[in-house]
Amino acid sequence: MTELHANLTSLAYLVAAVLFIMALRGLSSPETSRTGNICGMLGMLIAVVTTVFSPEVQSYGWIIAALILGAVIGITIAKRIAMTAMPQLVAAFHSLVGMAAVLVAGAAFTNPGAFGLVGPAGDIFVASRIEMALGAVIGAITFSGSIIAFTKLQGLVSGAPVSFGGQHYLNALFGLVILGLLVYFCIDQQPWIFWSMTALAFIIGVLIIIPIGGADMPVVVSMLNSYSGWAAAGIGFTLKNDALIVTGALVGSSGAILSYIMCKGMNRSFFSVILGGFGGDTSAGPAGAADDRPVKQGSAEDAAFIMKNAGSVIIIPGYGMAVAQAQHALREMCDELKQAGVTVKYAIHPVAGRMPGHMNVLLAEANVPYDEVFELEDINSEFQTTDVAFVIGANDVTNPSAKSDPASPIYGMPILDVEKAKTVLFVKRGMSPGYAGVQNELFYRDNTMMLFGDAKKMVETILRNLD
């Protein structure tokens, strides 16, 4: 590579890195998210084009074929994917990043000369061994962990935690063995060391995700996002690719910060999340047991009358709204209420849905004004002066047991103080517990009216009765 070309490549990668930083900044707010996405796409385009047209490329056959195949798959998925399936799609993408890191590390180890990683004595540089080992291990954990998360989110396996005696000790043992093999790999580059280390990483990726219950899935998604970034950064060092290093570090660090925010939202230990030691046992206990207490049941007509005569209404959306695709009908209902002089706001819990920001994306898709959407800490104090809290598809994030029942798996999790509203209208298909397997005490409160049925149909019927 000529000095001029090297300088141009570095400049292009620098521009791409700046665009990636601008993308993260833009994605921090719904108002600027579109601009953030555009910056991210432009940065990635520059990085890909710069890499593809490097003079070090020997043949374009496989590269062009891979680009075309990837573009076809990506466009097809983007056109067909439903918003309800977005969390499992993100998990699947994380698995691809992880496997890519493993494959690149494996290729570099198998043929180090092609990557310029061999010293005068014919051995792989020690620094390169550390880089490829970290890339392979983190990538393998990301891949297998993401696959487990995907199967849970997709409903292919139960979302309940899977635990057994000595699970944490086994995870710790595997972790120590992997660390020992990594150190040994720096001394001796025997193939069995590298592949054993990688195989154990695939196993531990499964072990740290299976004990995680449904209520913790948003934290899982953000954690795997961070892992995928660090895997990419590790391989970036192996490939000596500045763009990959910067991009991976940005994704890894931002994912870690997001995981920390999610942990605060779930009242979980950040280090427990990293080690997979979170997600309580939601399969047993009084909170998840069957309950035959009576509830107050209402109709769409009742709900329409109550909300039309209210001064203020707070909407609390959850995953059930996503499943029913009720966000557009909900926005129309709220527009009708605002025309009748009712003040309408939306309350979003940081872990509502199956991935961080899930509800914000759905509401933005329905063109809900950004200034009407509030996070938990900004709106929780308003419930006690609100006439109606309209819960649509949310469950665990409104459960008072998180504050009152130390035996509950969600105890200590900050919740939306919905029960403090004068009237709570709760849209739900039935009396089944939430994704965490915990029965919601809010169902049985005197100020709660249950509206049983499909969320979209219920909202559409309420809308008709508002006229």
Per-residue model confidence as pLDDT tens digits over 233-263: 888 888 888 888 888 898 888 888 888 877 7
Residue type, 59: S
The token duo for 109 is: 């180890």
Asked if pLDDT for residue 28 goes beyond 80, the answer is no
Query: Considering 221, 246, 280, which residue would you say is the last residue of a domain?
Result: 280
Residue 393 burial by CB count (10 A; 0-12/13-18/19+): exposed, middle or buried?
Answer: buried
Question: Is 289 among the domain residues?
Answer: no
Say yes or no: 72 and 94 in one domain: no
pLDDT at 265: 65
pLDDT in the model for residue 282:
39
Report pLDDT digits (tens) over 393-440: 888 889 888 888 777 777 778 889 999 999 999 998 888 776 666 788
Residues in CB range of 36: below 8 A, 6 or more apart: 22, 23, 24, 25, 26, 27, 28
Indicate which CATH number applies to the domain containing 398. 3.40.50.1220
In a domain, 286, yes or no: no
- Report which of residues 322 and 448 the model is more confident about: 448
Q: Which domain holds residue 153?
A: 86-280
Whether 10 is in a domain gets the answer yes
d(CA 394, CA 399): 9
The C-alpha atoms of residue 33 and residue 19 are separated, in whole angstroms, by 13
176 and 250 share one domain? yes
Instruction: Output the pLDDT for position 352.
Output: 79
Q: Which residue has the tokens 């080690």?
A: 275
User: Which secondary structure element, helix H or strand E, spans residue 415, and what is its range?
Assistant: none
Residues making up the chain, counted from first to last: 467
Distance of CA 215 to the CA centre of its chain: 12
* Tokens describing residue 125: 């540089």
The pLDDT tens digits of the residues spanning 76-93 come to 988 888 777 778 888 888
How many whole angstroms from its chain centre is CA 206?
17
Q: Which helix (H) or strand (E) holds 4?
A: helix 3-26
| Active-site option among 216, 242, 396, 417 | 396
For residue 14, how far is the Cα from the chain centroid?
28
Looking at every residue in the chain, the average pLDDT score rounds to 84
Instruction: Give the count of domains, the chain.
Output: 3
Are 373 and 317 members of one domain? yes
Tell me the average pLDDT across 36-52: 90
Residue 406, C-beta contacts closer than 8 angstroms, at least 6 positions apart: none
Is there a catalytic annotation at residue 216? no
pLDDT tens, residue by residue, 270-311: 666 656 555 444 333 334 444 677 889 999 999 999 999 999
> Tokens 């057994």 belong to which residue?
164
Q: What is the mean pLDDT of residues 334-352?
A: 91
Inside any domain, residue 269? yes
Q: pLDDT for 139-180, tens place per residue?
A: 999 999 899 888 888 778 776 677 777 777 888 898 899 999
Q: Is pLDDT of 313 > 90?
A: yes
Q: What is the token pair recorded at 257?
A: 């910060």
Range scoring the smallest mean pLDDT among 124-138, 183-197, 264-278, 307-321: 264-278
**Predicted pLDDT at 300:** 92
- Confidence check: pLDDT of 219 > 80: no
Distance CA 4, CA 81 (A): 44
Give the pLDDT score at 286: 39
Quick: pLDDT tens for 49-60.
Answer: 888 888 777 788
Of the pLDDT bands very low, low, confident and very high (cuts 50, 70, 90), residue 337 is very high
Nearest to 313 by CA among 342, 340, 335, 339: 342
120 shares a domain with 11? no
- Cβ proximity of 282 and 160 under 8 Å: yes
Residues 348 and 405 placed together within one structural domain of the fold: yes
3-state secondary structure 352-404: CCCCCCHHHHHHHHCCCCHHHEEEHHHHHHHHHHCCEEEEEECCHHHCCHHHH
Last residue of a domain, one of 280, 312, 346: 280
**Where does a domain end: 239, 254, 280?**
280
Residue-wise pLDDT for 350-363, tens only, equals 877 777 778 888 88
Instruction: Tell me, yes or no, whether 68 lies in a domain.
Output: yes
Q: Specify the pLDDT at position 26.
A: 83
Residue 287 maps to a domain: no
285: in domain: no
Residues 67 and 158 in one domain: no
pLDDT at 237: 86
Alpha-carbon gap, residue 410 to 377, rounded angstroms: 18
C-alpha gyration radius of the chain:
25
Tens digits of residue pLDDT in 261-279: 777 766 666 666 656 555 4
* Residue 69 domain flag: yes
